Every structure is written in structure tokens, then in C-alpha cells.
Amino acid sequence: MNHFLASLVYAAVFTASIKAQDIPAGSSIQFALASNSSVCLGAVAPVDDAHIVLGTCGTPGTTYALDDGTPSVQTRIILGDVLLEVCADAPLERWHVAAGAGEISTAEEEEALCITAPVDGKRGDLVTTQSCTGVPEQQWIVTTVDA
């Protein structure tokens, strides 16, 4: 299993056309675990190569600024001073984000990988990428929050 790292520097988030949602540029967003909406994707520190873990939603490191809106190739997610955006030539680091509850999956055509929390994910647990199977640990809710 690969750790979903903040080293996905240059990580773009794309929305699949059938799952698309409209998030205005400049919005602050959180990725909450659907089965436990009190925990969100977060970085352990605002530095390159920091692990992405589950953190209490609303705490430092769990709110991201979406600077260009979606679903643009130019979309980037910024965490504090760390720019997390995917290189255009790295297909495994392009992500499809579902509207409402759903998977955050790679744009890979053969075997998609999904951002996956541990079963009964709790604050501090490392987030990984695994084959998409539709399990609750792969269901996320993207919400817009007040900055």
C-alpha cells in the first residue's frame, strides 16, 4: 500500500463528469470520512512529504483552499504554505472527487485506486491508497467551509 502523502506535491483534483460538483474558486474545503464525519483528511505538518492522516475536522491541517475551482486541469489544493498539486504527466496523482458522499479515486483507467481510511478510522490514522471496492472506508464527503 502506498501512503497518500503530502508529497503528492502538484496534486490536482478532478471531478468525474457524472459525479461533478461545482465548488467556486477560493473556497475552503474539507474531505470528511462519510462513516465518521468528525474526521477529515489532514496533513501532520505543513511541509513537503508530510503524511496525510485523519484529523478532527476543523483543526489545523484539515481545511484546504481550492484556488482555481473545479473541474479544471489547473485545479490545485493548497494546505497552508504547502502546494499539493499533481504534475500533468503523473496520471496516478490525478483524482476524481465525487459530489456528496463517494470515492476519491485516481484517473487510472485499468485499476483505479481510492483514498482509503483504516476501518473505524480515528484521528491520527494514516490514510492509504487501495483498489477501489466501494467499502465505507473509501467514502468521503467534500464540504465547503467558511474560511
Q: Which domains does the chain have, with CATH numbers?
A: 2-133 (2.80.10.50)
Say how far apart CA 116 and CA 136 lie, in whole Å: 9
Q: What is the pLDDT of residue 74?
A: 43
The percent of residues in the chain predicted with pLDDT above 70, rounded, is: 55
Region 73-86: what's the mean pLDDT?
45
Measured CA to CA, the distance from residue 46 to residue 106 in angstroms comes to: 23
Would you place residue 108 in the very low, low, confident or very high pLDDT band (cuts 50, 70, 90)?
A: low
pLDDT in tens, 1-14: 333 333 332 233 44
pTM of the model: 0.70
- pLDDT in the model for residue 84: 46
Give residue-wise pLDDT tens across range 18-32.
Answer: 344 566 667 788 999
DSSP for the chain, please give it: -EE-BTT-TT-EEE--GGG-----TTEEEEEEETTEEEEEEEESSSSTTPBEEEEETTSTTS-EEESS-TT-TT--EEETTEEE---TT-GGGEEEE-SSEE-EEE--SSS-EEEEPPTT--TTPBPEEEE----GGG-EEEEEE--
pLDDT at 124 over 60: yes
